[in-house]
C-alpha cells in the first residue's frame, strides 16, 4: 500500500508539456490541423493602429469565438470561466498553465472592430476544405429559411403589436369615411418591425401560429453530404421567396459551381423566382400555391387558355376576355359577359355571381408553366423528400448542437456573425468526419485523396459538356 495522496502546492513545476496531455485523435487537434488561422491577422491588420495598448492576438480571439459555438458554451463569461480548467481548450488557443485568462469583453470588442468579413473568410476557408475533400457536388441545392428568436423583451412586444393593430384600424376607418386624400398626419402603415425596442433591427413574423420577434437564416445546402454553401441573414419580417436570388448568388460566389437543380418549398414558388432560374439555366423543383375555387364549382384548370386570342375558353365554350390589368401584382383578370353566364346551362357548376365568371392569369404565366413541366413527377417527389432530410436536418443539427434557435446578440450584423460561425462549425464537423483519423493509417488517407480526385474529374468533365451517352458511361466508370 502506497502513501496517502495529498496535494501539496509547489513553487515550481517541471517536466510539464500541455501538448502531451491532449490525445492524438482529439477533436480540437484535428481542427487545428485542418484550419489555418493565419488569415485572421492579415485580414484584420487594417483595424489596428500604431499607438496605444497592444491588443490580444487576433488568432486567439477567433479561436475563442469558434469554441463558443463548437462546444455549446451558453455565454462568453462561461467560456472564460471554463477555459481555466479545460486543458484542451488552453492548448487549442495557444495558452499555457500560467497564462492570464482574457476578459470576456474582448470578444465583443473584437466583433465590433472586425466586422462580418473576417467570419465570412473563416466560413469560406472551411467550405473550401469541404470542396477539396469531395463533399460538395454542386448539382442539386436545397434552399430554405428558419426563424431565430431575437434577444428581445417579449413583455414589450405585446404593446407594440396592439399599437400596430390600432393604427391599422384607425387608418382603414379614416380611409372609408373620408372622401379626400389622406393627409400626412394619418397613422403609418404597419411594417411588421419593432421600433425603439431592445433590438430595433429585429422583425416580427408568425410561424406555426406563434409570433416570433427575431431574424431568419436563409441557407443553401448541397444535396451530396449536407454541406452549407451559403447563409444569408435577414430580419424575420422578410419574405423567404425574395431572398432566393441572393442566396444562389452567395452560393456561386463561395463555391464557383453552377447548380443544375434547386429544390425549395412553396414559399419560393413565385413567377419572379421561376423567371430568374430559367434565365440562369437552373431547373426548379419548387411547388407553388394553386388558385383556389369554391367547392362544387369548376376549378382554374377547367378553363383553357388561348394564347393567340388572349382569352380563356370555359367548359361551355364561352370566351373570357381580359377586363382588368393589375400591374402591381402582375395579374390579368379575365371575365365572361353576364349575359353569357346567365344563359349557360353549366352556371350552377361555375359561378354564383351575376357579373360573370372571373379567372386570373399571371403576366409571367409562361415561366410558371415551364417550372411545372421541366421535371418529372417521380424526380420531383424524390427531391422534395430529400429536401426535408437535408434542410430540416441541417436546422435541427444547428438547434441541437449549436444553440441556433436563440439569438445570443442583438443587431443584424451580430446575427450574421452568429449564423456564419454556426454554419462553419457544422461544416467543420462534417469535414472532420470525412477525414481519416491517425489510427486508420495511410490507406484511409489514400482512399480519401482518391475520392476527392474523382470528384474534381467529374466537375471537369461536366464543364466540357460531352454527349449525354458518353457522360453516363464515364459516370459509371468513376462510380466503380
Q: What's residue 13's pLDDT?
A: 67
Residue 154: band (very low, low, confident or very high) from pLDDT cuts 50, 70, 90: low
Please, is 286 exposed, middle or buried when counting C-beta atoms within 10 Å of its C-beta (0-12, 13-18, 19+)? buried
Half-sphere exposure of 176 (CA within 13 A, CB side): 6
Residue 362: band (very low, low, confident or very high) from pLDDT cuts 50, 70, 90: confident
Transcribe 397-452 into DSSP letters: HHHHHH-TTB-SS-SHHHHHHHHHHHHHHHHHHHHHHHSPPGGG-HHHHHHHHHHH
CA 154 to chain centre: 25
Contact (CB, 8 A) for 240 and 267: yes
Q: What's residue 181's pLDDT?
A: 32
Please, is 172 exposed, middle or buried when counting C-beta atoms within 10 Å of its C-beta (0-12, 13-18, 19+)? exposed
Mean pLDDT within 106-132? 93
Domain limits, the chain? 18-47+54-114, 140-173+188-289+372-410, 300-363, 440-479
Look at residue 92 and tell me whether its pLDDT is greater than 70.
yes
Contact (CB, 8 A) for 411 and 418: no
Q: Is the dihedral of CA 199, 202, 208, 210 positive or negative?
A: positive
Residue 254: band (very low, low, confident or very high) from pLDDT cuts 50, 70, 90: very high
Helices (H), 94-225: 105-114, 117-132, 154-177
Residue 190: band (very low, low, confident or very high) from pLDDT cuts 50, 70, 90: very low
288-343: pLDDT as tens digits: 887 776 777 787 778 888 888 888 888 888 888 888 888 887 888 888 888 888 88
Q: What's residue 14's pLDDT?
A: 66
- What distance in Å separates the CA atoms of residue 18 and residue 87, rounded to the nearest whole number? 7
Amino acid at each position: 500500500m502506497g502513501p496517502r495522496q495529498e496535494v501539496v502546492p509547489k513553487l515550481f513545476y517541471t517536466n510539464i508539456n500541455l501538448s502531451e496531455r491532449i490525445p492524438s485523435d482529439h477533436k480540437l487537434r484535428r481542427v487545428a490541423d485542418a484550419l489555418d488561422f493565419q488569415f485572421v491577422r492579415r485580414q484584420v491588420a487594417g483595424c489596428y493602429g500604431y499607438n496605444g495598448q497592444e491588443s490580444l492576438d487576433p488568432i486567439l480571439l477567433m479561436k475563442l469565438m469558434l469554441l463558443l459555438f463548437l462546444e455549446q458554451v451558453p455565454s462568453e463569461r462561461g467560456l472564460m470561466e471554463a477555459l481555466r480548467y479545460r486543458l484542451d481548450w488552453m492548448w487549442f488557443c495557444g495558452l499555457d498553465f500560467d497564462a492570464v485568462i482574457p476578459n470576456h469583453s474582448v470578444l465583443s470588442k473584437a466583433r465590433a472592430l472586425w466586422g462580418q468579413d473576417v467570419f465570412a473568410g473563416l466560413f469560406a476557408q472551411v467550405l473550401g476544405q469541404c470542396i477539396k475533400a469531395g463533399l460538395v457536388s454542386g448539382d442539386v441545392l436545397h434552399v430554405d429559411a428558419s426563424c431565430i428568436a431575437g434577444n428581445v423583451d417579449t413583455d414589450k412586444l405585446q404593446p407594440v403589436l396592439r399599437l400596430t393593430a390600432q393604427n391599422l384600424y384607425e387608418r382603414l376607418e379614416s380611409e372609408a369615411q373620408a372622401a379626400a386624400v389622406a393627409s400626412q398626419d394619418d397613422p403609418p402603415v404597419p411594417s411588421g418591425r419593432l421600433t425603439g425596442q431592445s433590438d430595433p433591427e429585429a422583425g416580427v413574423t408568425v410561424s406555426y401560429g406563434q409570433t416570433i420577434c427575431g431574424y431568419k437564416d436563409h441557407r443553401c445546402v448541397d444535396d451530396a453530404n449536407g454541406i452549407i454553401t451559403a447563409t444569408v441573414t435577414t430580419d424575420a419580417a422578410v419574405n423567404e421567396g425574395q431572398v432566393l436570388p441572393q442566396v444562389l448568388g452567395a452560393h456561386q460566389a463561395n463555391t464557383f459551381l453552377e447548380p443544375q437543380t434547386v429544390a425549395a418549398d412553396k414559399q419560393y414558388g413565385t413567377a419572379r423566382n421561376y423567371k430568374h432560374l430559367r434565365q440562369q439555366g437552373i431547373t426548379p423543383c419548387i411547388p407553388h400555391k394553386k388558385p383556389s375555387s369554391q367547392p362544387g364549382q369548376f376549378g382554374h384548370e377547367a378553363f383553357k387558355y388561348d394564347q393567340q386570342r388572349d382569352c380563356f375558353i370555359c367548359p361551355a365554350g364561352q370566351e373570357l376576355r381580359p377586363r382588368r390589368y393589375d400591374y402591381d401584382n402582375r395579374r390579368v383578370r379575365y371575365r365572361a359577359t353576364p349575359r353569357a353566364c346567365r344563359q349557360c346551362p353549366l352556371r350552377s357548376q361555375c359561378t354564383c355571381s351575376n357579373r360573370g365568371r372571373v379567372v386570373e392569369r399571371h403576366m409571367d404565366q409562361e415561366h410558371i408553366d415551364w417550372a411545372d413541366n421541366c421535371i418529372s413527377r417521380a424526380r420531383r417527389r424524390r427531391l422534395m423528400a430529400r429536401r426535408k432530410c437535408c434542410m430540416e436536418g441541417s436546422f435541427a443539427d444547428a438547434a441541437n448542437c449549436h444553440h441556433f434557435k436563440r439569438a445570443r446578440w442583438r443587431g443584424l450584423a451580430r446575427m450574421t456573425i452568429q449564423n456564419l460561425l454556426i454554419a462553419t462549425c457544422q461544416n467543420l464537423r462534417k469535414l472532420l468526419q470525412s477525414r481519416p483519423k491517425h489510427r486508420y493509417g495511410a490507406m484511409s488517407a489514400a482512399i480519401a485523396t482518391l475520392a476527392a480526385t474523382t470528384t474534381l474529374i467529374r466537375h471537369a468533365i461536366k464543364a466540357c459538356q460531352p454527349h449525354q451517352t458518353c457522360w453516363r458511361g464515364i459516370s459509371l466508370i468513376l462510380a466503380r
